[in-house]
Amino acid sequence: MRPVIAGFVFILALIGAAFHLKAEESQFRKQFVENYRTNNFYAQSNLVKKNKDIMAAEINSLITEAMLPEKSYQERMNLLDIANAMATMNIHWNNGDEELLKKIEALQKEELAKEKKKTEGLEKLQAVEKVPGNFIMALHGEEMAAKGLSPVIYPHWVHRAFFRCKVCHEDIFIMKRGANEISQVKIQEGKQCGACHNGKISFNAGEEKNCERCHLLGRPESKPLMDLSYYSRDRFKEIASRVGAEWNPENLPGGKLPVDKLGFINWVELDKSKAFSPLHSLNAGPDPEGIRETTILFETTSTFLNNVLFSHKTHSTWVKCSLCHPNVFKPEVGANKVRMIEMKDGKGCGLCHGRVAFSYADCLRCHNQPRENIPQGVLIHRASAPAQ
């Protein structure tokens, strides 16, 4: 799939470049490109010999055009490629300037290296963030690089195994990326990540030997956070008993972590199996805002999907009421208009789903309740609920 798309994009870029050339190219360049594309070496040698006097200027103007900042990578490489061919033939048939060719080759190499670095960065990012809630943190990219450190990876999934969301959100972290002004000084003062990474609850963020346990992007040690092999029975049991949570792998069906359709941990099943019991606060106090047991049935306005059952119990076990009420949802049945379109923008249910909780691409996990079957005791959010 990937190479096909890349090839397609490349062809588009070529077409774009060809159109662009038309607007600016000289008669000579036009003829040269035509011969080059059609592999007409006989015509090309005649053309190059005849235009000996203007060749260097033509090549230089191609280089200048190629290096204009607004040129895309493909446009630039395409122009440099033609310049390279011109310079090569100019040497071959006219005894032309060899330095010109060296200059072009150096530029091509440089551009190639730059592009490779860019796409490597992108691939790294995509691989890390493919796992729901694995966030790359690089707001202070330059300061980290100055200390020879990589950007940080924050893996939600590792933390969720021992802490409910309400431990961190929002006493320790506002639930929005980049909104917490996280800094190494604050961490070492015992705030932010340092609320736990203090050498007591978890490894100490102030110790030299631990820097790279968080500053991890691009390092081989980051792999277990991406393919979930960070999990092992023994490791999770040890961590859980240290932090005061519970991990009972013997309750796992088949001894394995339950996964969803996309291969990521199914946290609802994990709760059902009683294989774990994360903390709901760091100081072993009571659950901050408690748990609500009601279930709300969203009658669907779609013509083809099931209704949606929303369990307050599942949600208030993980998150505080105050995260949803009243800013995201008014706490009144039918008072909110819930639309799919908002979810992709991170609003409504999309505040968590598709970011840390399972993806909205998993339609049937939400649209799960056959319309003809209304369970007993649920509150009903009518499809005709008022718009506002």
Two tokens, residue 35? 């011969």
Two tokens, residue 354? 């598709």
CB of 261 to ligand HEC, least distance (A): 11
CB of 205 to ligand HEC, least distance (A): 4
Query: Shortest CA distance to 215 belongs to which of 160, 146, 133, 159?
Result: 146
C-beta closer to ligand HEC: residue 16 or 346: 346
Query: Shortest CA distance to 357 belongs to which of 323, 315, 320, 322?
Result: 315
Report angle CA 125, 127, 129 to the nearest 5 degrees: 65
C-beta closer to ligand HEC: residue 86 or 149: 149
CB of 123 to ligand HEC, least distance (A): 20
Give the C-alpha separation, 318 to 222, whole Å. Answer: 26
Give the C-alpha separation, 196 to 243, whole Å. Answer: 9
Query: Shortest CA distance to 50 belongs to which of 26, 33, 32, 25?
Result: 32
C-beta closer to ligand HEC: residue 102 or 347: 347
Cβ count near 99 (within 10 Å): 9
CB of 386 to ligand HEC, least distance (A): 10
C-beta closer to ligand HEC: residue 32 or 358: 358
Give the C-alpha separation, 144 to 152, whole Å. Answer: 9
Q: Tell me if 280 sits within 8 A of 166, measured CB to CB.
A: yes
C-beta closer to ligand HEC: residue 21 or 351: 351
CB of 5 to ligand HEC, least distance (A): 22
CB of 4 to ligand HEC, least distance (A): 24
C-beta closer to ligand HEC: residue 90 or 316: 316
CB of 191 to ligand HEC, least distance (A): 9
C-beta closer to ligand HEC: residue 4 or 146: 146
Length of the chain: 388
Give the C-alpha separation, 4 to 291, whole Å. Answer: 50
